[in-house]
Amino acid sequence: MAMLTDSWLLDFLSLLTALVVVFVTWIKYSQTYWQRTGIFTPPTSFPFGHGKGLFTQSESVSEFISNLYNYFKKHDQLHGGFYILHTSTYMPVNLDIVKSILQNDFSHFVDRGVYYDETNDPLSAHLFSLEGEKWKNLRAKITPTFTSGRLKMMFDTLVTCGNQLKIEMDKTAGKQAVEMKDMLVRFTTDIIGNCAFGIDCNSLKNPDNEFNQYFKSFFVDTFWENLNGFITFVSPGLAKKLKIKVVKPKLSNFFMKVVKDTIKYREENNIYRKDFMHLLLQLKNRGKLVDDNSVLSEENEKKQEVNLTVDEIAAQSFLFFLAGYETSSTTMTFCLYELAANPEVQENLRKEVEEVLQKHDNKLTYEAVTEMHYMEQVINETLRKHPPISTLIRLCTKNYTVPGTNSVIEKGTTVFVPIAGIQHDPEYYPNPEKFDPERFSEVNKKKRHPYAFIPFGEGPRVCIGLRFGMLEAKVGLSVLLKNYKFSINSKTQLPLKFDPTSFTLSPLGGMWLDYTKL
């Protein structure tokens, strides 16, 4: 009996050893891919490749991207390759190559290669992650929802939320510091809740409301959720076979119920509101957007394309919520930090806000915020220095010869366009750590390569909601600067450190600011 047990154990250990040897050999071979293709790559660290800092959480995604970009730039490379475990990823450095990938030769890089599963995780199948013809058709349908006229239609809602932001800020003005990211997340939650669903989330009044709690949970992961996220990143195909969900079931169930209840209530009671959901319901029931006072002819009705399903409406609403909730609040947070650190810029911007509002009877209108050109420069400089997303991800969908080289990016290769690296490059932005809105004057913008500033992406997959996000930020900053003066509180870690567990740029320990009422 003992001999049988010993034999079984020996066989098991032999098998385990063989599997380890195979795994190690496979990883090591995978990490020679770029050498075999002739593309420059930094020395690797087994088994992480170049992603050790990400695994050990010793560097943020922004730092990881910037470090790789700077390494390639230091070695005078037009581009380079790197590894995260076995995954080979391409990084363009030359801006003409960046432009070719995002714009000129977009047909080779149509997809992002981001994991989604329409069946088991329907909220993941939104415009950001969809591929091929599905993405193209949906993009064409949804693009008209962000025209100037339709943004103007939602503007009053933004102002109402701005007024509530002032009420909450007034409560502790001059008395205690505010963690700005938390306050602005509540502000953007109320805006998106109203603009997406016509629902007053009351996040500013009640930080513990359901919407805020559920969406906070999206950005806080357990060990197993982090592992799932890693699998979806390095092996989307395996993740799909394992039916991994990137949206937590509780959040998914909550959000799907909100969408279905909203649709049912509006359709049963013939409710009309000037919001994003109204536009999506047109796409569900008519297949396209029409003006509210127009009538579709019977002939046009017959020509309608396939309408959006409830699941597709839910997925697009979810993306709208996530983007507005996280990136807009992040941009405003870092903007206020820079204004607090640069009092002269803060005063100049405040002066513009006051002068423009005086021209509009001291009312915050759509026309007023579009006239705040210096504010746009300040926001752009914030996005340059602190881009919420550090890299653009693309998937090579057919073999591509890199312009000006003999190098070929093979089909299936992931591409990281290094926003954080490019936008901190002294070649394009002298003294890049200095906060200088004049970089975005019309004169200075014309001096730079147009792809030296890409926080929203570029080309056909440029962020569809960038104008809404800019509008959201302008309203929030107008209200805050008109009423308060900001300075940095000692709770804020200086120099700034970034949370290595967050994919989006996030200040470690929060962004604490003092503020007094004007």
* Rounded Cα gap, residues 502 and 492, in angstroms: 18
Question: CA 339, CA 374: separation in Å to the nearest integer?
Answer: 13
In the beta sheet, which residues pair with residue 284?
Answer: none
Give the ranges where 143-246 is alpha helix by DSSP (H): 148-153, 155-170, 180-192, 210-218, 223-234, 236-241
Residue 195 marked as a ligand binder: no
**Residue 381 token pair:** 């400089």
C-alpha span between 369 and 156 (Å, rounded): 13
Integer Cα distance of 82 and 18 in angstroms: 28
What residues contact 482, with CB distance under 8 A and at least 6 apart? 350, 353, 354, 357, 518
Q: Which tokens is 82 given?
A: 């790197």
Q: Are strands 87-92 and 414-417 parallel, antiparallel or unpaired?
A: parallel
Instruction: Give the bridge partners for 394, in sequence order.
Output: 415
Tokens encoding 275: 């919001």
Query: What backbone torsions phi and psi does residue 41 show, to the nearest 5 degrees?
Result: -145, 145
Return all residues near 205 (Cβ < 8 A) that are at least 6 apart.
164, 168
N- to C-terminal Cα separation, the chain: 86
Residues 458, 103: contact at Cβ < 8 Å? yes
3-state helix, strand, coil in the chain (%, to 5): 55, 10, 35
Binding-site residue numbers are 463
Binding-site residue numbers for heme are 463
